[in-house]
């Protein structure tokens, strides 16, 4: 008789590192501090995980976020106690609202000091409860292996999202009985759709005169874009996207009308949506920047909403039919049911005209003026960078211009924090994206003001040789706020970033070329449209962090509106 195997006793942080490795973690973005050093002691011995020393804990969360968006895996960030955790709040919020799975690990003071306002002993687990799927302050060493396994399951399952694990210092120092050979990831449950609802959805689509499909970010996260396109092709239904769904269908696909929205729209997308009588929303939230005025958005049309999160159903747009299920399983079931109900449908004349409609309503981009019109920058971007390029951007006119004018051909090739929109997100997120997809070129499109928010992380890109191309649209303003002040408040106040230097007597710009060089990156300034392509070529060839400072027209306004039938075209 073989005696039972003796389960080894080991430092609990070594068990935690074993679990992280087994869950597929390849990179950790973090900053060590006194309250998290037992974790770092165990991490030092890992042969599978690379640690990147970030320069700010917010940057660490955004880098983990970008890694998760580009890879489809869980991103991990680490910080010490106190302000390290509070610095992560913005990143956790951004991940939560966009359904991104990241795990944040924080150090904490010893258990005896909790609740006594001891040094750096903030109750971070309570602080982040509203903006995470789950938060823990683990007070028993023996619970840690299961807590970490559960954290990965929670981050991945259902609607993905962030989880925080807070670790008191004395808990980290403990030992635990742990057998890695008998442990493994927890099962992820994917709910399938109700067959009766699938059939009813198909019947409603076949009954409709002008149905339209919305491809939301949930479709990309479920890796179900191909299934949605196949269903649309079989039923000859036009497809529009939300901002988070951009790249889920090729921009030149004959069924793709474009994005719908009031800030991130394209005219043919809004036109096709307004002509619809049935809207099938797959993996979308119906957020305000997409819908605009709800009375216009909903008038005269029925809605089918497919979402894995029950709380999203009916929250903004009433659903005539709701399917609470995994969107990938639902699309496959709908395609199978469609093949049973009807032969492949031929597109209507309206649907056949979508490519011509896209061409006819496309916005002008071929400006030759100096200062450079931002539309011309995106024309050059579309023509120079290939379909495999991953683009990263964040809030501001740069994001709105990018979303309205850029062509994105593949899922997970357009990364943007759509719900939170924190300035500075893009720089660290682009580092995470490049590490997740090293074979792809990563380009960050940002603004001159936003670039400064997490600019310290440029040092990380240089230190670890992460070659990202940063394109700054430099208009010397808080561009989005300048435009809002202009049209809503009729003022121009506190939005200028260029200023008159009393010593030199003329407007001073931040010298982003010198700033890049100070960090060890390469930088150059572009002031004429014909210089753009050469700058792009040099940046790609350098294979090194490269900052291109593009001086653009200072007051170019972006097309916006309050409802999707009243967009003011400003191009």
Q: What tens-digit pLDDT sequence spans the chain (571 residues)?
A: 555 678 889 999 999 999 999 999 999 999 999 999 999 999 999 999 999 999 999 999 999 999 999 999 999 999 999 999 999 999 999 999 999 999 999 999 998 888 888 888 899 999 999 999 999 999 999 999 999 999 999 999 999 999 999 999 999 999 999 999 999 999 999 999 999 999 999 999 999 999 999 999 999 999 999 999 999 999 999 999 999 999 999 999 999 999 999 988 899 999 999 999 999 999 999 999 999 999 999 999 999 999 999 999 999 999 999 999 999 999 999 999 999 999 999 999 999 999 999 999 999 999 999 999 999 999 999 999 999 999 999 999 999 999 999 999 999 999 999 999 999 999 999 999 999 999 999 999 999 999 999 999 999 999 999 999 999 999 999 999 999 999 999 999 999 988 766 655 556 778 999 999 999 999 999 999 999 999 999 999 999 999 999 999 999 999 999 999 999 998 8
CA separation for the pair 571, 561 (Å, rounded): 14
Provide the token pair at 242.
Answer: 């939300």
Provide the token pair at 313.
Answer: 């159903």
Within 8 A by CB and 6+ apart from 397, the residues are: 374, 447, 473, 475, 479, 480, 483, 556, 558
CA separation for the pair 545, 560 (Å, rounded): 33
Domain membership flag for residue 14: yes
On whether the CB atoms of residues 63 and 466 are closer than 8 A, the answer is no
Beta bridge partners of 215: 241, 282
Residue 555's closest CA among 498, 437, 476, 488?
476
CA angle (220, 324, 93) in 5-degree steps: 55
Residue 72's closest CA among 292, 319, 328, 291?
328
Number of domains observed in the structure of the chain? 3
Within 8 A by CB and 6+ apart from 339, the residues are: 234
Query: Which H/E stretch holds residue 469?
Result: strand 469-474
Query: Which DSSP category does 5 fall into?
Result: P
CA separation for the pair 490, 112 (Å, rounded): 56
Rounded to a whole number of angstroms, the CA Rg of the chain reads 25
Last residue of a domain, one of 338, 360, 382: 360
Do 173 and 234 lie in one domain? The reply is: no
Do 243 and 96 lie in one domain? The reply is: no
Domain membership flag for residue 178: yes
Domain membership flag for residue 159: yes
CA separation for the pair 271, 567 (Å, rounded): 11
What's the CATH number where 443 sits?
A: 3.40.50.970
CA separation for the pair 395, 161 (Å, rounded): 20
Residue 459's closest CA among 516, 402, 538?
516
Do 161 and 200 lie in one domain? The reply is: no
What's the CATH number where 292 sits?
A: 3.40.50.1220
Query: Which DSSP category does 245 fall into?
Result: T
Do 342 and 404 lie in one domain? The reply is: no
For residue 429, how many other CB atoms are within 10 A of its CB? 36
Domain membership flag for residue 3: no
User: Over the chain, what is the mean pLDDT?
Assistant: 95
Do 25 and 159 lie in one domain? The reply is: yes
Do 345 and 383 lie in one domain? The reply is: no
CA separation for the pair 35, 398 (Å, rounded): 39
- CA of 28: how far to CAs of 51, 286, 422, in Å? 5, 33, 21
Query: Which DSSP category does 274 fall into?
Result: H
Do 384 and 334 lie in one domain? The reply is: no
Domain membership flag for residue 567: no
Per-residue exposure over 114-124, b if at least 16 CB sit within 10 Å of its own CB, e if not = beeeeebbbeb
Could you tell me the residue range of the domain that residue 118 belongs to? 9-182
CA separation for the pair 213, 295 (Å, rounded): 19
CA separation for the pair 103, 148 (Å, rounded): 9
Q: What are phi and psi of 528, to 5 degrees?
A: -125, 145
CA angle (316, 317, 323) in 5-degree steps: 110
On whether the CB atoms of residues 352 and 336 are closer than 8 A, the answer is no
Instruction: Find the helix packing angle between 57-71 and 89-97, rounded to 10°.
Output: 20
Within 8 A by CB and 6+ apart from 327, the residues are: 218, 219, 222, 224, 282, 283, 306, 307, 308
On whether the CB atoms of residues 114 and 121 are closer than 8 A, the answer is yes
Do 272 and 401 lie in one domain? The reply is: no
Do 223 and 138 lie in one domain? The reply is: no
Last residue of a domain, one of 147, 182, 217: 182
Domain membership flag for residue 103: yes
For residue 477, how many other CB atoms are within 10 A of its CB? 22
Intra-chain end-to-end CA distance of the chain, in Å: 82
Confidence (pLDDT) at 4:
60
Provide the token pair at 561.
Answer: 């509106």
Domain membership flag for residue 368: no
Do 314 and 284 lie in one domain? The reply is: yes
For the stretch 168-196, pLDDT in tens is: 999 999 999 999 999 999 999 999 999 99
Last residue of a domain, one of 132, 153, 182: 182
Do 175 and 44 lie in one domain? The reply is: yes
Query: Which H/E stretch holds residue 258?
Result: strand 256-259
Residue 474's closest CA among 419, 390, 548, 369?
548
CA separation for the pair 498, 476 (Å, rounded): 5
Domain membership flag for residue 367: no
Query: Which H/E stretch holds residue 79?
Result: strand 75-79
Do 165 and 248 lie in one domain? The reply is: no
């Amino acid at each position: 008789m073989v005696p039972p195997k003796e389960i080894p006793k080991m430092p609990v942080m070594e068990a935690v590192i074993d679990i992280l490795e087994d869950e597929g973690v390849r990179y950790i973005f973090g900053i060590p501090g006194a309250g998290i050093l037992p974790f770092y002691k165990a991490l030092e011995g890992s042969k599978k995980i690379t640690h990147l020393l970030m320069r700010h804990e917010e940057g660490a969360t955004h880098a983990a976020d970008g890694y998760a968006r580009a890879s489809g895996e869980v991103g991990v960030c680490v910080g010490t106690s106190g302000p390290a955790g509070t610095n992560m709040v913005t990143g956790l919020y951004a991940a939560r609202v966009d359904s991104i799975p990241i795990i944040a690990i924080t150090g904490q003071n010893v258990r005896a000091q909790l609740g006594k306002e001891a040094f750096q002993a903030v109750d971070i687990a309570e602080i982040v409860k509203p903006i995470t799927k789950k938060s823990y302050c683990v007070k028993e060493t023996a619970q840690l292996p299961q807590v970490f396994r559960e954290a990965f399951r929670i981050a991945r399952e259902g609607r993905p999202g962030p989880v925080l694990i807070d670790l008191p210092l004395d808990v980290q120092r403990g030992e635990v009985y742990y057998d890695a050979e008998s442990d493994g990831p927890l099962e992820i449950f994917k709910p399938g759709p109700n067959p009766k609802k699938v059939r009813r959805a198909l019947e409603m689509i076949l009954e409709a005169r002008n149905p339209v499909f919305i491809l939301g970010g949930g479709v990309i996260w479920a890796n179900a874009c191909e299934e949605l396109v196949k269903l649309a092709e079989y039923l000859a239904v036009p497809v529009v996207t939300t901002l988070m769904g951009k790249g889920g269908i090729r921009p030149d696909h004959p069924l793709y009308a474009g994005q719908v929205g009031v800030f991130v729209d394209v005219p043919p997308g809004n036109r096709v949506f307004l002509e619809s009588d049935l809207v099938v929303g797959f993996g979308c939230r119906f957020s305000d920047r997409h819908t605009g005025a709800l009375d216009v958005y909903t008038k005269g049309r029925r809605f089918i909403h497919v979402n894995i999160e029950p709380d999203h159903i009916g929250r903004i747009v009433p659903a005539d039919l709701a399917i609470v299920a995994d969107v990938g399983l639902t699309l496959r079931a709908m395609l199978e049911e469609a093949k049973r109900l009807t032969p492949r449908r031929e597109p209507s004349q309206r649907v056949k005209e979508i490519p011509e409609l896209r061409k006819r309503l496309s916005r002008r981009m071929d400006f030759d003026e100096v200062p450079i019109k931002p539309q011309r920058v995106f024309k050059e971007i579309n023509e120079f960078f290939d379909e495999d390029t991953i683009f990263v951007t964040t809030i501001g006119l740069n994001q709105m211009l990018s979303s309205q004018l850029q062509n994105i051909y593949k899922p997970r090739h357009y990364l943007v924090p759509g719900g939170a929109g924190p300035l500075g997100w893009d720089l660290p997120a682009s580092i995470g994206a490049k590490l997740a997809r090293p074979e792809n070129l990563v380009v960050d499109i940002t603004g001159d003001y936003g670039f400064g928010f997490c600019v310290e992380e440029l040092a990380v890109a240089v230190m670890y040789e992460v070659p990202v191309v940063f394109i700054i649209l430099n208009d010397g303003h808080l561009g989005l706020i300048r435009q809002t002040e202009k049209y809503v408040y009729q003022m121009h106040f506190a939005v200028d970033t260029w200023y008159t230097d009393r010593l030199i007597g003329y407007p001073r710009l931040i010298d982003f070329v010198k700033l890049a060089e100070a960090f060890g990156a390469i930088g150059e300034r572009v002031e004429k449209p014909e210089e753009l392509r050469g700058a792009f070529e040099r940046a790609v060839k350098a294979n090194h962090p490269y900052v291109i400072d593009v001086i653009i027209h200072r007051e170019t306004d972006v097309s916006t509106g309050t409802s999707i039938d009243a967009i003011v075209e400003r191009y």
